[in-house]
Amino acid sequence: MAGPVEEQIYRGPRRRLIETLREGGIRDLAVLRAFEVVPRHIFVPSAVVHRAYDDSALPIGGGQTISQPSVHARYLEELKLTGHERVLEIGTGSGYQTALLSHLAAQIFSVERNRELLDRAREVIRRIGARNISLLLGDGTLGWREYGPYDAILVSAAASDIPAPLLEQLAPEGRILIPLGDREEQILTVATREGDAVTRREIGPVRFVPLVGAHGWPS
């Protein structure tokens, strides 16, 4: 976990970030609490740590970014988690969103295709003491069938359509949140399983890195 000196240094910037999220329309108290207790500065590279609590995306290596906090918050609020869910995350990245999820759901299963990013995320997650997170190196478009079905699936990269294996691993009444579109621009979409049907609702425009894999974009 972050030490007392670090906590003192970043307490003010973290509180300002929470206010920014509130002003941006985030109302879910559990989501705001997760941002309050998870130290974003230990998930970003040292070169940009001074911007850890800015509401902006930051590079984390491997051509990937840590999304801006307001985007994370929007994702998490849309999922309407109650604390009892089994959640699949596609794209561990820095591990920051994974850590936020660990305060909002019962079990988190996260898949990352970049070994270096996954190893770094695993170490930081170990540091903060999260014990309800399982990590896998693999193709996120295939999901993680062994532990499905999932009450919620969160995809942190853009696809042209929802990968079939992810829909297959969605529990009844489960929901999947994913950016859908082309490589440059997407619409954040939530799909909900209702019996044998899947309904979709568009939320708004976003821009994410492409979802690479067997059921996504070619690398």
Q: How far is CA 99 from the centre of its chain?
A: 9
- Give the integer Cα–Cα distance in Å for 14 and 11: 5
Quick check: 197 and 173 in contact, CB under 8 A? no
- Give the integer Cα–Cα distance in Å for 110 and 88: 6
135 strand-pairing partners: 110
Q: How far is CA 141 from the centre of its chain?
A: 15
- Give the integer Cα–Cα distance in Å for 105 and 100: 9
- 3-class DSSP state for residue 129? coil
**How far is residue 66 from each of residues 23, 49, 83, 121, measured CA to CA in Å?**
21, 12, 24, 12
Active site residues: 67
Kind plus residue range of the DSSP H or E element containing 128:
helix 115-128
Token pair listed for 92: 């561990």
- Give the integer Cα–Cα distance in Å for 213 and 201: 24
Quick check: 163 and 215 in contact, CB under 8 A? yes
